[in-house]
Structure 1
Amino acid sequence: MSNVDRWLLPDGIDEVLPEQAHLVEKMRREIIDLYHNWGYDLVIPPMVEFTESLLSGSGQDLDLMTFRLTDQLSGRLMGVRADITPQVARMDAHSLNLSIPGRFCYAGTVLHTLPRGPLESRSPISVGVELFGESSISADIEIIELFLNTLSVAEIGHVSLDLGHVDIVRGLIGEANLSVDLEAEIFDLLQRKARTELAVWISENIENEQLSAWFNKLPQLTGGIEILETAKAALDGAPEVVINALNQLETAIHSLDTSHLNIHLDLSEMPGYHYHTGIVFAAYIQGYGKALGNGGRYDHVGEAFGRSRPATGFAFDLKTLVSQGSCSQSLSLGIFAPFCPDSSRREEIKSLRRQGFRVVEGFENQVIDYEELKCNRQLVKIGGKYIVEFLS
């Protein structure tokens, strides 16, 4: 290995340098304060856990994304977290065991074995919330509103909110009583919007004419909020779970302030089909090719921990919010205090720092570069008194 190679980071692992780190931390504080104001308590789960706990009920996707290592104390297998939601579910089920709905928020680095997409980080800073113990549509609405408020704090405008409900497809599949293999086939066709292939598949595998018609209409049920009325007519007579899903989406949309929000519905979309259980959502902006953040309901997440409570939540990558937002406040420039063995100088520096000023002390014989020091003022002694002067 050459000397140059020694300092290279692994693909997908990034570092955050001072000016950007300042913005990331500022954003983190503002977002956590937002969540606190909504009643969400901050939790800090550990970076590693035993895999039987970390991956309980999380599905194969998260399993493949998780780095594993052997605990040198117990000999048991541990995993480095790739998602914080299962950890918070464990805390809700065992560490806290609340009788009321639990509202939690978090911000921490996660690690992925592979990037989720081209050029994506394998070490995002995940920030989000989880709400446990409330199954009503009011909980979904609260979570979506807080999701949108997070984007406002990040100063991200012209947002497109994608909404869906997994019970629409799941309800029709349940009515069809398909095998696991056939279910996987129609899931793939619906996600690819392969209408011609889907029509052929339906003719070969679905005998019920009404059910066949409903499945064929699903890929067409995409568009603005007006598509709900189209869906109600197209799926008239569908199983009750499907109709309830449409009604929930309608209730959620009517509860949101849509004056500055573009809402897009795709009623055949099923992100996290084997994980989510109700309303799902994601946020997009023009010019950014993937979701800024996503979330939804996942009522079975606590089953593996012996306490199945209704659950919903969302997560963002904090670094993405900073890079895509309008927050461009740079690090506040400080005050340079040249080296001088003077006790009154030390007292003045303490006073300035207590007032919230950034003060950088010089060393004896130090070469001074104010730009690198990030200072635009200097502490000087005039007439026996210390004052702060702007640098010329």
Structure 2
Amino acid sequence: RTRGSHLERSRSPLQVGAELYGFAGYQADVEVIRLMMETLALSGLHHLQFELGHVGIYQSLVRQAGLNAQQEVTLFELLQRKAHTELVDFVDQSGINSAMQSMLLALPELCGDASVLATARHVLKAADEDVHEALETLDMIQKALNIHFPLLDVHLDLTELRGYHYKTGVVFAAFVSGFGREIARGGRYDQICKHAGESRPATGFSADLKVLARLGRKVRGQPEIKAIIAPASNDSELHVLIRDLRANGKIVIEAMPNQPIDKHPMGCTEKLVQNNGQWQIEPILN
């Protein structure tokens, strides 16, 4: 996807989201996805692309193939890049059987609309039962989403491994045209509390409220709220100017010592700089 604008470059995100604990069924994932979609709608974001995957498919195939830790790292990286030629070379040299090779090589092609699931059941027919259970879960979820959000553009991707190292099942994300990354994401993480001696089913989503607010204003045609950042300084003239600007309705954020003021900090679009002994407002350039 293309790189987005400065809207996405928040160094201090304000997280919003929801979690549902204690139920392992796909219905909990559907409920969390519904909450996520309603949150985006309340932000004014309606024309979305929705991506759905299941990390359990990859995890099960890796176990079945008997890959070692280094091979797993290599496979993960190749799938994320969808590097077909390198993937062919990798499986050819991996020592795994031909049926397993065919399944791993098929993974990057298993993306698209709901018809992908039928294709996956066929090409992954030699996979362990965990894979077929995961495919059934994806089928149930996409059917439920079709009922709740019949106009939603659902894209299935069986190599979507966002959060692979802590997610345990379904993963999902929402995208909006013109923005370089997901605006909300989530998934299942049933083992998240295992280190504390308690392993409960869990699913949830998160988003950056600042990003949603800015995108929502953009969609509604409202001007972006502009803020000015001022450097950390004891200069009395600077502080007089800051008070005057605030008195006239301007938003001025005072930086902490050693904090840079030229990389869109906290969404600021302008900065106060001193030129020839005079404090002036200048735009923050990309």
Shift of 1:372: 4.5
Mapped contact 1:232–1:243 kept (Cα < 8 A): yes
Distance in 2, matches of 1:234 and 1:259, equals 28
Structure-2 separation of matches of 1:141 and 1:266: 17
Taking the aligned partners of 1:227 and 1:312, their CA distance within structure 2 comes to 24
Q: 2:9 aligns with which of 116, 120, 127?
A: 120
Q: Which amino acid aligns with 1:292?
A: I
**Which of 42, 56, 64 pairs up with 1:153?**
42
Task: Using the TM superposition, give the Cα deviation of residue 373 of structure 1 relative to its aligned residue in structure 2, in angstroms.
Answer: 7.1
Q: CA deviation at 1:217?
A: 0.3
Equivalent in the alignment of 1:277: 168
1:233 aligns with 2:86: no
- 8 Å contact 1:137–1:252 — kept in the other structure? yes
Q: Does 1:202 align with 2:91?
A: yes
Structure 2 alignment gaps of length 5 or more: 1-5, 224-246, 251-286
Task: Give the letter for the 1:189 counterpart.
Answer: L
- Distance in 1 between the 2:25 and 2:200 partners? 12
Residue 76 of structure 2: SS of its match in structure 1? helix
Matches within 5 A, 1:284-363: 284-325=175-216, 326=219
TM-score by length of 1: 0.53
3-state SS in 1 of match to 2:205: strand
TM-score of the pair, normalised by structure 2: 0.72
Shift of 1:119: 6.1
Matched letter for residue 240 of structure 1: E
- The residue aligned with 2:33 is 144
Trace 1:77-226 onto structure 2 (pairs within 5 A).
120-226=9-115
Contact 1:143-1:313 within 8 A present in 2 as well: yes
Do structure 1's residue 251 and structure 2's residue 140 form an aligned pair?
yes
Number of positions where the alignment pairs a residue of Structure 1 with one of Structure 2: 218
What letter corresponds to residue 291 of structure 1 in structure 2?
A: E
Instruction: Find the aligned partners of 1:227 and 1:293 in 2 and give their Cα distance.
Output: 24
For residue 159 of structure 2, give the secondary structure of its aligned residue in structure 1.
Answer: coil
Distance 1:118 1:372 in 2: 25
Unmatched segments (≥5 aa) in structure 1: 1-116, 331-370, 375-392
Distance (whole Å) between structure 1 residues aligned to residue 70 and residue 126 of structure 2: 27
Q: CA deviation at 1:206?
A: 3.7
Within 2, Cα distance between the matches of 1:125 and 1:327?
A: 21
- AA in 1 matched with 2:45: I
3-state SS of 1:259 partner: coil
Contact 1:140 1:297 in 2 (8 A): yes
Structure 2 SS opposite 1:236? coil
Distance change (3 Å), C-alpha of 1:373 and 1:181 = closer
Identical aligned pairs, as a percentage?
Answer: 41
Q: CA RMSD in A?
A: 2.1
1:259 CA drift (Å): 2.1
Structure 1 residues 304 and 273, CA, compared in 2 at 3 Å: closer, same or farther?
same
Task: Decide whether aligned partners of structure 1 residues 189 and 258 sit closer, same or farther in structure 2, where only a CA change above 3 A counts.
Answer: same
Contact 1:166–1:269 at 8 Å: present in 2 too?
yes
